[in-house]
Structure 1
Amino acid sequence: MGENISEIDYEQVVEYALDPVIIHTQLKILYINNAAEKFFKAPREEVIGESPLDIFKETSRAAIETRIGSAYNQPAAVIEETIYKMDGTAVDVELYCHPVRIGDKKAIQTYIRDITARRAVESNQVELENEIYKLSSTVVPLMDKIAVLPLLGSINEERAIQILHNVPVNVQKKDIEYLIVDFSGIYRLDNIVTEYIFRITSVLSMIGVQTIVTGLRPELALTATQRGINFPSTPTMASVKDALHYIGFSYDRKEKA
C-alpha cells in the first residue's frame, strides 16, 4: 500500500512548504524554512538564534510569550497578529503553533499565513457597509414636497434606530409632505428591526407627513404581519413609480376639492 510513512523525510516537507514555518524553543529560533526566508526578506543565518518575540509589536510581546509557553504542551488556537519583516514592513498574519520534539528538546513549530489581502477585502467591505448605512438614513428629494427613503442592504437594530431618529428630522428640514419608503433594496429584516422601520410611519403621520411604502416583498410583509404590525392608513405600492402616480392622483383630487 505504498511507501512506509516512516520513510517520509519530514524535514523536506517543512522546508518546501508554501507557508513560512519557524521552529523555536526557549525563545530562540532554531530553524526557518525557505518560505520564511523569502517572507522575512532575510537569510536564515541572520534569523536563527534570535528571539521569535522580536517580530511582534512591543505591546503584544507579553501576551505572545504567555501563548508560546502554553504551546509546549498542546497546540495553540489560531490567532491574527501584526508582525514585522526584517526591513520593518508590518504584515497582518495568521499564526498557528503546535509542539514538536527536536531530539530530546521540546520545541514549537509556528506556521505563518499572510492575510494582508483578506484584511484589505474586509476593510473595503466595512467601508461599503458604512456607505450603505449612511444612504439608508438619507431622504432623497424627488420633486417639490416629495422624497424617497431608499432602504438598502441588511438592516440591523442599530441602523433601524438611527433611521427612526434621523428621518423625521430630515423630512421636516426639507419640508416634505410625502415620503416614499422603498424596501426594494432590503434583503433581510428581523422581527425587532421590522418594528422600528414601520414605526416611522406613525412618527411621520404625527408631523403631517404621508408615508407610502413601496417594494415590500411578500416575505418582508409576512414578517410584519407575524409581528402584529399593520398600517391600514399607509398606502403600499409595488414601485416608486406607482407611488408617484398615486401622489399625483392625490394632488388632482385635492385641487378638485
Structure 2
Amino acid sequence: MLTAYDFPTAKILDEAGVDVLLVGDTVGMVVQGHSTTLPVTMDQMIYHSEMVGRAAQRAMVVVDLPFPDGQLDILHSVKCGARVLKETQCHAVKLEGGAEQAERIEAMVRAGIPVMAHIGLGPQSVHVLGGYRLQRDIDRLVADAKAAEAAGAFVVLIECVPSQAAAAVTEAISVPTIGIGAGPDVSGQVLVTHDIVGLTSGYTPKFTRSFGDVGLVMREAAQSYCQEVKAGTFPSDAESFE
C-alpha cells in the first residue's frame, strides 16, 4: 500500500503492482507544504481522489476522511463517505480512531461504505497527543482494533507503535492489519510514496526507507534544461517546426 495524490503517480503505482492506493490527507504535508494534515478539506480530498480513481485499473483505492469530517456528527461523516463513493471511482474510506469511532464505523458500513480503521498514532489528533509520538499502550491498541473490527472495519491500519504491539493487534483480530512504523508482524505495509522515492522536502521518519531518488533525477533534468536553454542548444531543429 502506497499513497497517491494525482493521476500520473497513481497510474505508475498501479502498473507497478501496488495492491492498495491511499489518497491520504498527508497531501497537506507532502504536496501542499503544511506542517500537519489538519488544513486539508473534504473538497480537496475529493479533487485528488477523482484523479487517483481514474488512474487505478487494478488497485483498491482508499480515501482519508480529513479533519474534522471524521469527528463531527455521524450523519455528516456518512455523507462525506458517500461523496467519496459517488463522486470518485474510489472504493473505501479510512477513518482515524478505534473504540471511540466504533459507532461511526458501524453507521458508515451499514450505509454501504467500506471503512479502513486507523489506530495508534492519529495525525489528526496530533495536538491532543502532544506531538508525533510512539503509541505504546498495547491493551488500548488491541481494544481499539477489536472494537473497529466488531463495528465492521475490513482492515485496521496501525501507525507508529512498537513491533510487539502491532504483532499483538494482528494476533487479536481476524481482519488484515496494515503497518506504518509498526514493524514486520502485520499483514501489509504502507508508506508515503514521496518518502520512498526521494521527493521529501525535509524530515524523513525513522520507519521509512528510500528505494530511489527521483528528486535527484528531477534536479539534474531541470539543471540540464536550464543550461541548454541558456546556451541556445534547446530547442534544436529536431524540436522546431518548419
Query: Of the two, which has the highest radius of gyration?
Result: 1
Output the TM-score relative to the length of structure 2. Answer: 0.29
| Structure showing greater relative contact order (alpha-carbon pairs closer than 8 Å, 6 or more residues apart) | 2
